[in-house]
Structure 1
Amino acid sequence: MSVKLGLIGGGVMAEAIISRLIARQLYLPDQVLVSEPQTPRREFLVEKYGIKVTSDNRTAAAASDVLLLAIKPQVFEAVVTELAAGSGNNGQAKKQLPLVISILAGVSLSQLQAAFAGQPVIRAMPNTPATVGAGITAIAAGIAVEPSHIELARAIFGAVGEVVEVPESLMDAVTGLSGSGPAYVAVMIEALADGGVAAGLPRAISSQLALSTVLGTAQLLQSSQLHPAQLKDRVTSPGGTTIAGITHLEGAGFRSAIIGAVQAAYRRSQELGK
């Protein structure tokens, strides 16, 4: 059976995507080929998922119907140079891929389209909850992308969570919000737990309460379609404990700090793309 999905890079995000695609039977194990330089990692992927592996990026690129780039942005140029160098091996032209998908932060569509001239390219930004199937991925389409390519990308990233389509001009903002956002939420959960400990709760119970509170609130907002302000108003009684806590948060600039964090990450993403 021919390879349908090739990946360059076999790290955590690549594994998350592979595991969910195979679990949902969108791809069979022998339809997936991962190029990964580390031997222990290749052996792990084979043992756990039964997929094909290689240490040669050119093999993954040439054999696949869809190529997913899941490498560090810092090695992008080196990988592209390697793929270009292999395009003329044995007098054969490099296979034209129907679709190239990149999850590299800071690597623009113009850079991707220059590297994969004439091929449809989609830039994607998933986030770490994708590893448990609860992520959200923003995708931006290149000039040669057709509706069928968008649907294919939606199916791939839909296996690890929700998918939204945005113009590329908004990808840095996506990075600042959903790409970096899990870290902000983790800091908030840690702070909630620390607050519980400061108020006298045992660490384990405080951590459990903090985590479940954030998880439950997110699920409630999603299922009820309430605006966050509406939910906040429902919990806030006149002269009660919640308004006392919110008053302290407002005085400490909590809301402004979160907004500022997204903006700072957005600016940094812009810098990385230059």
Structure 2
Amino acid sequence: MSKLDEKIGFIGGGNMAFAIGSGLIRCGIVKPLQVMVSGPHIENLARWRDIGVATTDDNNEVLELANIVFICVKPHILGDCVAQLKCKHVPSAKDAKKLFVSVLAGTTLDDLEEKFSFMEEPKVIRTMPNTSMQVGEGCTVYTGNERVTPQELAKVHLILNSLGLAQQVPESMINAATAVAGCGPAFVYTIIEAMADGGVKQGLPRAMALKFAAQTLLGAAKTVLLTEKHPAVLRDEVCSPGGATIVGVHELEKGNLRSTLINAVEKSSQRAAELGKK
């Protein structure tokens, strides 16, 4: 596994930032001493300190230290956050080498360039990761502005791909990817819970039902990725004539499961776009 020498900073130390930062440390891409994180309430950053990462309540400390700065605040407070950075920032030759990586849903490259224009021709990358990064099975798409070099994109790819699957896409695809990959874990957790509830209803202990449901989704997902077969083909392979599975699949069709999931992705994609306009 390749390693990075750069200093990595996180402005905002919430769940997504921690999934990325802790994952990078766990897999040896960076050492804890290479990382710094900031947040408005330093007492909420204890889990970062537990893994050896420096913490601060001053975003400018992260901006000055880090070569690669992950922007992990909520979209609606980005403006205030950048205003504080601009107020304290002292321009230097190091500015031209800094790379800003946003995980903000709906926030476009144009938005990011405009916000960070005080850095003079900022290099920005827009990403959409998911929290499954914390277990090394994330799914992230990313795109950079024209100032980001191929070598810099390669470094960000290394960071994101080391924590699961990462793929560069046109910016026009990112809101849709947000709905599938970013919001998708919540949809899947709901399915796991519902399957487990069905098992409990039929007499399985709760813990056992949850374990069975989660492992079943894990195995099915891995089968799709490794065999590269269409899910419908794999489903048909499980559905024996007159068997138990086809009866259950029929119930899913009567409940409009597929239509409901399609609608969920559509609404989440639309909401991601709306968040960037606020």
What is the TM-score when the length of structure 1 is the normalising length? 0.92
Mapped to 2, the partners of 1:149 and 1:209 lie a distance apart of 42
Map of 1:99 onto structure 2: 99
1:42-121 to structure 2, matched below 5 A, reads 42-46=45-49, 48-88=50-90, 93=92, 95-96=94-95, 97-117=97-117, 118-121=121-124
1:4-15 to structure 2, matched below 5 A, reads 4-15=7-18
Mapped to 2, the partners of 1:25 and 1:207 lie a distance apart of 31
Map of 1:247 onto structure 2: 250
Mapped to 2, the partners of 1:241 and 1:44 lie a distance apart of 46
Mapped to 2, the partners of 1:240 and 1:44 lie a distance apart of 49
Preserved contact between residue 75 and residue 275 of structure 2 (Cα < 8 Å): no
What's the secondary structure of 1:273's corresponding residue? Answer: helix
Preserved contact between residue 3 and residue 63 of structure 1 (Cα < 8 Å): no
| Offset of residue 43 of structure 1 | 4.2
Mapped to 2, the partners of 1:196 and 1:21 lie a distance apart of 36
| Offset of residue 251 of structure 1 | 2.0
Map of 1:229 onto structure 2: 232
Map of 1:156 onto structure 2: 159
Distance 1:43 1:189, change over 3 A: closer
Distance 1:120 1:248, change over 3 A: same
What's the secondary structure of 2:260's corresponding residue? Answer: helix
What's the secondary structure of 1:149's corresponding residue? Answer: helix
| Offset of residue 205 of structure 1 | 2.7
| Offset of residue 178 of structure 1 | 0.8
Number of aligned residues: 269
Offset from partner CA, 1:5-31 (integer Å, 9 cap, x none): 111111222122222222333222222
What's the secondary structure of 2:229's corresponding residue? Answer: coil
| Offset of residue 160 of structure 1 | 1.7
Structure 2: gaps spanning 5 or more residues: none
How large is the RMSD of aligned CA atoms in angstroms?
A: 1.8
Map of 1:219 onto structure 2: 222
What's the % identity of the aligned pairs?
39
What's the secondary structure of 2:36's corresponding residue? Answer: strand
Preserved contact between residue 12 and residue 131 of structure 1 (Cα < 8 Å): no
Map of 2:180 onto structure 1: 177
Mapped to 1, the partners of 2:151 and 2:164 lie a distance apart of 20
Structure 1: gaps spanning 5 or more residues: none
- Which structure 1 residue ranges, 4+ long, deviate > 4 Å from structure 2? 92-95
Mapped to 2, the partners of 1:7 and 1:247 lie a distance apart of 47
| Offset of residue 95 of structure 1 | 4.2
Mapped to 2, the partners of 1:53 and 1:207 lie a distance apart of 36
Mapped to 1, the partners of 2:243 and 2:100 lie a distance apart of 55
| Offset of residue 235 of structure 1 | 0.5
Preserved contact between residue 175 and residue 272 of structure 2 (Cα < 8 Å): yes
Offset from partner CA, 1:147-205 (integer Å, 9 cap, x none): 11110111111232110111111111011111111111111111111222233333333
Mapped to 1, the partners of 2:124 and 2:174 lie a distance apart of 15
| Offset of residue 140 of structure 1 | 1.4
Distance 1:235 1:11, change over 3 A: same
What's the secondary structure of 2:10's corresponding residue? Answer: strand
| Offset of residue 93 of structure 1 | 4.6
Offset from partner CA, 1:184-241 (integer Å, 9 cap, x none): 1111111111222233333333222222211111122222222211111111111211
Map of 1:36 onto structure 2: 39
Higher alpha-carbon deviation: 144-153 or 205-214: 205-214
What is the TM-score when the length of structure 2 is the normalising length? 0.90
Offset from partner CA, 1:79-134 (integer Å, 9 cap, x none): 1101111124xxx5584143110111121111101122302110011111111111
What's the secondary structure of 1:33's corresponding residue? Answer: strand
